[in-house]
Structure 1
Amino acid sequence: MSEKTYKQQLELANLIERFIKQDGVHPTSVPSLFLIRESIIKEPISRVNKPSFCIILQGEKEVLLGEERFLYGPGRYTVASVDLPVTGQVIKASKESPYLALKLEFTSTYVLEVINETDIQFKQGKNSKRAMFVSEVEPFLLDAVLRLACLLDNPKHIPVLAPLIKKEIIYWILQGPHGEALEQIALEGSNASRIREVIDHIIKNYEEPFRIEELTEIANMSVSSLHRHFKEVTTMSPIQFQKQLRLQEARRLLMVDPTNVADVAFKVGYESQSQFSREYSRMFGSSPRVDIRRMRENYA
């Protein structure tokens, strides 16, 4: 890491510490920009990760997508190009040196705008790319991120400058080693963008059973092509993807009211409570009641 990069990361870390004093994910006056702070290591959190760019300035984090593991810390960033059910855990943090990160959410439409406004050239490959990747932060990208964050000190300039800088950040990601993975999701008609449409459908109807023919019609693919491209993008099959969505939503609902396991199971699409409990235990390591009790104690 160069001295300039180190100083930029330190400046970003200091900015986050200055703006947020409590742990959590904090929205900012810059639309779609969030500052994150964690001072203790907690239980892994499962959620649907929106399309986003996230850079760590201090500490380390582990993210699981299916059975694939992504580990990143200072000097590295992660990008999710579609909505993905992931499990994340901060694995290095303390009160003296808290985990600090910055997240910027975006849409495929926003990415397409950047592509259309530039002369970036990509190979039109037929193979889909993984919708999540980790990469080393480049100096030009880090500079843009710092300028966007510094707008928090000059809020009157946010309406004009923030959209420009956000496009610049997307531009530098597209120029990076994994840019093609982000580009494929945005380009209409690409295999990856058709899988994105299938993902959107499953997320909107996660509690309903689906027929594979329904998904192949959405993607305009054969059954074998759909499974191949879906797994390449998400690491999972469509049914595994749906299962993760259901179990994550069940866990969220049980955190609110842990007494009605059967009602929650049926609400997220299970017809059998015993099947729900088996699959829940397989994903989270213990039965619903035990898991929720542990989670509540951990986050008390």
Structure 2
Amino acid sequence: MLWDDEIMTQQQELAHLIDRYTPSAGTHVTAISSLKLIRSCGESEPIYSVYDPSLCMVAQGSKLVMLGKESYHYNPATYLVASVNLPIAGQIIQATPQRPYLSLQLNFSTDQIMDIIKEPNWESGHKEGSRRGLLVSKTSRPLLDAVLRLVRLLDTPLDIPVLAPLTIREILYRILQDEQGASVRQFAVKGSHAGRIAKVISCINRDFAKPLRIDELAVVASMSPSSLHFHFKEVTAMSPMQYQKQVRLQEARRLLLSDIPEAANAGFQVGYESPSQFSREYVRMFGMPPLSDIKRLRDSLA
């Protein structure tokens, strides 16, 4: 019971700090470059984005994240980690103006993970097999304590350059020690299947508008095409083609929301040669034709 009471006290302090540093709804950058704080005063429709490798922790409210056909729910009792770039849909499912959704996102890199697991006390890990690049795990007191100390540094900005890197290293260490830590470590193990799939993911994200050539991606991964398909789906819950399609459609939606006036132009810029194919796949992902969807989004923002 004491353990639970300590965690509850920590969560309340974390919610109080995030509440203080997010005076309005939205995502707020902080003096710690890799740390963002998020506030929402109500439930949301699915928001599509490509997650960077990051830790996501909720202090108040709850959120649902969808990867392919899989759903991941997390709240103050749990945390979410994306270990590699993944196209997801995130939906806030518990928030009110009186009790807003409050959370944080801490980005990290594979190099930071490698720097920890190169220490002598870490096992080298297994190169075989692949695990999902997204996980939800139960929040522990040591992890929450380290996260809380990181957010407290926002009150003492002169301490950030020295103490923030040390605290972030501790946070990543706590995640790696967790029962699902192997899912994060796999991307930093030299020669691992997951590490090779990460290289393929980088290629797709960099050249998403170009035709997808599995034989070329297989060379990048040093795998056969069939092995590439298998391990790619193990990590991302989708095939390379499905991954590229989600990245393309998310980018097209962003272009339409910014300054591209015609759907066909947006589709062409992200790699679609056929306007009708672009429109069909857009409807499958977002529920309505491109221009209708953008009008609805703009109306809701207004």
- Classify the TM-score, shorter chain: over 0.9
Matched ranges for 1:172-211 at <5 A: 172-211=174-213
The amino acid across from 1:22 in the alignment is S
Give the Cα separation in 2 of the matches to 1:32 and 1:118: 27
The amino acid across from 1:127 in the alignment is G
Q: How large is the RMSD of aligned CA atoms in angstroms?
A: 1.2
- Once superposed, which parts of structure 1, at least 4 consecutive aligned residues long, lie more than 2 Å away? 120-123
Residue 36 of structure 1 aligns to a residue whose secondary structure is: strand
The amino acid across from 1:212 in the alignment is I
Residue 57 of structure 1 aligns to a residue whose secondary structure is: strand
**CA-to-partner distance for each residue in 1:141-183, whole Å, 9 max, x for gaps?**
0000001110011111111110011000000000001100100
Residue 117 of structure 1 aligns to a residue whose secondary structure is: coil
**Displacement of 1:118 after TM fit?**
5.6
Give the Cα separation in 2 of the matches to 1:238 and 1:213: 12
- Unaligned stretches of 5+ residues in structure 2: none
Give the Cα separation in 2 of the matches to 1:288 and 1:34: 30
Residue 2 (structure 1) aligns with = 4
- Unaligned stretches of 5+ residues in structure 1: none
Give the Cα separation in 1 of the matches to 2:260 and 2:279: 13
Residue 49 (structure 2) aligns with = 47
1:219 corresponds, among 221, 227, 239, to: 221
TM-score (norm: length of structure 1) = 0.98
Residue 256 (structure 1) aligns with = 258
Residue 118 of structure 2 aligns to a residue whose secondary structure is: helix
Instruction: Give the number of aligned pairs.
Output: 300
Residue 64 (structure 1) aligns with = 66
Residue 2 of structure 1 aligns to a residue whose secondary structure is: helix
- Tell me if structure 2 keeps the 8 A contact 1:43–1:298: no
Residue 299 (structure 1) aligns with = 301
**CA-to-partner distance for each residue in 1:234-276, whole Å, 9 max, x for gaps?**
0010000000000000011111236311111100000000000
Give the Cα separation in 1 of the matches to 2:89 and 2:101: 17
Give the Cα separation in 2 of the matches to 1:209 and 1:9: 47
**CA-to-partner distance for each residue in 1:187-229, whole Å, 9 max, x for gaps?**
2210000000000000000000021110000000011110000
TM-score (norm: length of structure 2) = 0.97
**Displacement of 1:122 after TM fit?**
5.9
